[in-house]
Amino acid sequence: MSPLPGILKGLITTARTALRPTHTAEYPDVAPELPPRSRGVIALLEENCTSCMLCARECPDWCIYIDSHKETIPATTEGGRDRQRNVLDRFAIDFSLCMYCGICIEVCPFDALHWSPQFEYAEVDLLDLLHEKDRLHEKDRLGGWMASVPPPPALDEKAAEPAEIAAANRPARGAGPAGGAGGSGPRMPRTVRPRAAGSPRPDAGGSSPAAPSPPDAGEASP
């Protein structure tokens, strides 16, 4: 009969699998190897946040809550103008609503939100999934997740140049022959601001947490 070889094959296959090492990951004892860019929890780098509300408005299920107030910074120079800035009072993400789409992180112009691979924040009470930026427990702090944010993984081979680097490497507009496509000689830039390589523009959205004003604002507020 023809089924006999197949039957023996089944026995051999299972026996061979039994002799090989298993695939089981003993999770609570052994940390899982997560792929890069894993979406575990959203971490907040508070210093970078300007309370611009973009994330809250883009969030598809409205799970980000932001409260802020304006503060006046007195002019530093004689006769100068007073400046106003936003101070973040409350930043909360309700992870019982969050669907981990990552749009808030995409949309943040100042890299205040980051994906952290940390995923062990299950709670007994649904309400405890509302992560405030400064809850009492260190574990529950939205900002506390920042410690677990890994450095960004290296770009893939043949990937396009990162936008910041491409912008920095691009020749200043009007300086090279590429800018003179109009044919009538080198065109002068229309704006007054020169866009030299040393301008602060490209790094404003960079990863340096020491953005110009927010850190000292905390001390200035009382």
Partner 1 sequence: MSLLEATLRAASVLAAFLVLPLLVGQAEHKVMAHMQGRLGPMYAGGFHGWAQLVADGVKFVQKEDITPRAADRWVFRLAPAVALIPYLLAMATIPIHPGVAAVDVPGSLVLVLAATSVGALGTLMAGWASANKYALLGGLRAAAQLVSYELPIVLALASIAMAGGSLSLMALTQAWSPWWLLWQLPGGLVFLVAACAELQRPPFDMPVADAELVMGAWTEYTGLRFAFFLLAEYAGIVVMSLLFAVLWLGGWHGPFEDTLGWLWTLLKGFGVAVLVIWVRVAWPRLREDQLQRLAWLWLVPIALAQLLLTGAGVVMGW
Residues at the interface with partner 1 (CB under 8 A): 7, 10-11, 13-15, 17-18, 20, 22-24, 26
The residue assigned the tokens 């009470």 is: 125
Give whichever of 24 and 184 is closer to partner 1, judged by the CB atom: 24
Give whichever of 7 and 178 is closer to partner 1, judged by the CB atom: 7
Strands in the chain per DSSP E: 41-44, 64-73, 83-94, 113-116, 130-132
The residues near 132 (Cβ < 8 Å, ≥ 6 apart) are 90, 91, 92, 140, 141, 142
Q: Give the shortest CB-139-to-partner 1 separation in angstroms.
A: 25
Q: Give the shortest CB-34-to-partner 1 separation in angstroms.
A: 21
Give whichever of 12 and 172 is closer to partner 1, judged by the CB atom: 12
Q: Give the shortest CB-117-to-partner 1 separation in angstroms.
A: 24
Tokens representing 50 are: 């300007």
Residue 95 exposed, middle or buried by CB count within 10 Å (0-12, 13-18, 19+): buried
Instruction: Find, among 221, 219, 216, 205, the residue nearest to 48 by Cα.
Output: 205
Q: Give the shortest CB-89-to-partner 1 separation in angstroms.
A: 46
Cβ–Cβ < 8 Å for 47, 210: yes
Give whichever of 9 and 69 is closer to partner 1, judged by the CB atom: 9
Q: Give the shortest CB-18-to-partner 1 separation in angstroms.
A: 4
Q: Determine phi and psi for 151, rounding to 5 degrees.
A: -60, 150
Give whichever of 13 and 213 is closer to partner 1, judged by the CB atom: 13
Residue 87 exposed, middle or buried by CB count within 10 Å (0-12, 13-18, 19+): middle
Q: Give the shortest CB-122-to-partner 1 separation in angstroms.
A: 19
Give whichever of 10 and 150 is closer to partner 1, judged by the CB atom: 10
Measured CA to CA, the distance from residue 55 to residue 62 in angstroms comes to: 9
